[in-house]
Amino acid sequence: MAHGRPKDPRTAQKTPPQPAQDQPADRPARESRMEQKPDFGERSYQGHRRLQGRVALITGADSGIGRAVALAFAREGADVAIAYLEEHEDAKETERWVKDAGRRALLLPGDIGDPKVCEEWVRKTVKTLGGLHVLVNNAAFQDESVEAFTDITPERVQRTFRTNIEGMFFLTRAALPHLKPGAVILNSTSIQAYKPSPGILDYATTKGAIRTFTQGLAQELTPKGIRVNAVAPGPVWTPLIQQSFSPEQVKKFGEDSPFKRPAQPAELAPAYVFLASDDGQYVSGEILGVTGGKPLA
């Protein structure tokens, strides 16, 4: 991030109200459709060559936290494979910023819930970019917040778990043969893993599973020199929010945090850089909360 005089974290980014805008839940949310665009660090993030010469595969990298991480990794010297479902316009914007940083970018559209797609993503990454050093399991689906548990349909549960859990298992399994000592796996969990909201209980449950996945996999891979960690964000201003909540809820999103605002994706990226780089080389099996002051436990 850019340096200078310390900023008051309460006012360092935009505060509510946000535009009372929603996006349909039956197709992927898109950053290109947002009236108030997230800050993904394009004007502020400064790299320091901490990932020079490495290759990262990031899922959900078309927008939101994934795009911010892709930009930061590129400015730190990494080539980036950008995995996403079908948000081509958003993904091409991420690709543009990676290339603007002087690094190679590889677009990988497809359904992460398909094991063959995950295997193909890894194969193309290794073949095109020359290896794989950092895997970021960030892709997620979150449906609309509901009034009652019985409103969460079996079809919704299956879709949420297919994207958030099954895809993470499939992709990690495909990547492991290519990960050598010094490699890193990073997973995006959430404060929802610790303080679940009933209206999105299917999503919150998957985030709890990602927490368990991270800590369990680290026990196997850390002795082999492969670090496994996760970042647990609090409220973050991304397209997913407009897809999941009513316009009135979107307008007030983040007001209940100690800082009285949501985070911007740019404020999450440094945590991923720290855990991916040698700065975090003695950290494994950890969940790093970036919650704006809300305790994880």
pLDDT computed for residue 285 by the predictor: 98
Span 194-207, mean pLDDT? 96
Higher pLDDT, 253 or 66: 66
Q: What is the pLDDT of residues 136-164, one digit of tens each?
A: 999 999 998 999 999 999 999 999 999 99
pLDDT computed for residue 251 by the predictor: 81
pLDDT computed for residue 26 by the predictor: 59
Enumerate the H helices of the chain as residue ranges: 64-75, 88-100, 115-129, 154-161, 167-175, 201-221, 239-244, 247-251, 269-276
CA–chain centroid gap for 230, Å, is 10
Q: What is the pLDDT of residues 52-62, one digit of tens each?
A: 999 999 999 99
Q: Among 119-128, 205-214, 231-240, name the one with the lowest average pLDDT.
A: 231-240
CATH superfamily ID and name for 48-290:
NAD(P)-binding Rossmann-like Domain (3.40.50.720)
- State the virtual CA torsion across 129, 266, 5, 234 in degrees, nearest 10: -130
pLDDT computed for residue 111 by the predictor: 97
pLDDT computed for residue 180 by the predictor: 98
Higher pLDDT, 241 or 260: 260
Q: Answer whether residue 112 shows pLDDT above 90.
A: yes
Q: Answer whether residue 237 shows pLDDT above 80.
A: yes
pLDDT band at 17 (very low <50, low <70, confident <90, very high): confident
Q: What is the pLDDT of residues 283-296, one digit of tens each?
A: 999 999 999 999 99
Span 184-206, mean pLDDT? 97
Percent of the chain with pLDDT over 70: 94
Name which of 160, 127, 125, 133 is nearest 144 in CA terms: 160
CA distance 234 to 262: 8
Plot region of 168 (φ>0 → left; ψ -120 to 50 → alpha; else → beta) = alpha
Percent of the chain with pLDDT over 90: 78
Q: What is the pLDDT of residues 245-282, one digit of tens each?
A: 777 778 878 888 899 998 999 999 999 999 999 999 99
pLDDT computed for residue 94 by the predictor: 97
CA–chain centroid gap for 260, Å, is 22
Catalytic machinery residues = 203
pLDDT computed for residue 247 by the predictor: 78
CA distance 275 to 289: 12
